Amino acid sequence: MGTDPAGRVDAATSSNGRHYRTEVLVVGAYFADLVFHGLTRPVQPGTEVFASGFAILPGGAFTPAMAMRRLGHEVVWSTDFGTDLFSEQVLAAARAEGLDDSGFRLHSTPVRSVTAALSSPADRAMVSYQDPVAAFPLATLLREHRAQVVILPQLRYGETVYAALDVAHRLGTQVFMDCQDVPGTLDTPTVREILAEVDIFAPNADEALRLTGAPTLDAAIDILADLANTLVVKRGSGGAIAVREGERCEIDAVAVEVVDTTAAGDCFNAGFLHAHLAGRALPDCLATAVACGAAATTALGSSAAPDLTELPGWLARVPRARQL
């Protein structure tokens, strides 16, 4: 597949000769993130903690869509917006970032999706609310957009999802899936089968442990690496590990002054996928992911997601990868 000097992928064709209507398709709900940052301690029941800062920022699937767009990719984001203030704010932000709006479904009723993010330098906790909206069939979206890659920001399972991933592979669409705090383990029906159809699976360390029930992270990685074609495990301040076809590498985190970690995971994912689509080797993909994730922590929400002019500076700060 062709790339220009900046590493951008040609959306029209790939190395297998397929023609795509869309380069990147992101499928997932928007969220308006109410970010309370600078907490000096975790919030405990019956206590009140004051934050040093507050902002309302676009989040949810907006973040990976925006992060990929800033890295030079053509992105269609399939999501729902309503008549509420939160929808209006995120829709305006999506258009300002240059996202293709052909995937936007506009409703005549409120579609509120809100997360209160309690962010400290070490980690974050979230409380969310979402108005119910009937999900648009994933298989239909895949056929309509014929993307080179689809990003699913959270673990999805069930027979209809399994069938949709079969559609993706028949269309030549690669599947990138994150995990997030979705209930489910490898014992949940279809989860194993779906992960075996995923091209890149990117849980964090806690999610990998919960999903597998393994006693250690190394054991969880071994289990998941036998399922997904490429496994990427985010470890926050501990860096990240990636495994593909027996190759395993690790990179330490970049030393930064953390402001907010809310968007770090999604920006990490965008960095990995950006390098992957450009045909980079596994250590380079992981380095780009670590760079983008680190950049995202230096400001509130996803506002510091790097673009192609900023990425080289962050890559220069990434520690060298170690083969394991």
Q: What is the pLDDT of residues 140-179, one digit of tens each?
A: 999 999 999 999 999 999 999 999 999 999 999 999 999 9
Question: Taking Cα atoms as reference points, which of 60, 33, 39, 30 lies closest to residue 259?
Answer: 39
Instruction: Indicate whether 124 belongs to any domain.
Output: no
CB 198 within 8 A of CB 154: no
* Helix/strand/coil for 124: strand
44-48, 89-93, 176-180, 226-230: the lowest-pLDDT one: 44-48
Instruction: Indicate whether 181 belongs to any domain.
Output: yes
Q: Which residue has the tokens 């962010």?
A: 119
CA angle 209, 212, 218 (to 5 degrees): 55
Instruction: Indicate whether 158 belongs to any domain.
Output: yes
Instruction: Indicate whether 141 belongs to any domain.
Output: yes
pLDDT in tens, 106-126: 999 999 999 998 876 666 788
CATH of the domain at 219: 3.40.1190.20
Instruction: Indicate whether 249 belongs to any domain.
Output: yes
Strand locations in 82-152 (E): 104-106, 113-119, 124-130, 147-152
More confident residue, 324 or 207: 207
Rounded CA-CA distance 148/175 in Å is: 9
More confident residue, 44 or 78: 78
Instruction: Indicate whether 153 belongs to any domain.
Output: yes
Range of the domain at 204: 22-29+60-107+134-323
Is the pLDDT reported for residue 4 higher than 80?
no
CB 42 within 8 A of CB 122: no
Type of residue numbered 271: G
The helix, strand and coil proportions of the chain, stated in percent and rounded to the nearest 5, come to 35, 25, 40
* Helix/strand/coil for 16: coil
Neighbour-count burial of 17, counting CB atoms closer than 10 A to its CB (0-12 exposed, 13-18 middle, 19+ buried): exposed
Rounded CA-CA distance 39/123 in Å is: 10
pTM of this prediction exceeds 0.85: yes
Instruction: Indicate whether 112 belongs to any domain.
Output: no
pLDDT in tens, 230-258: 999 999 999 999 999 999 999 999 999 98
Instruction: Indicate whether 122 belongs to any domain.
Output: no
Q: How many domains does the chain have?
A: 1
* Torsion, Cα of 32, 141, 202, 231 (10° steps): 180
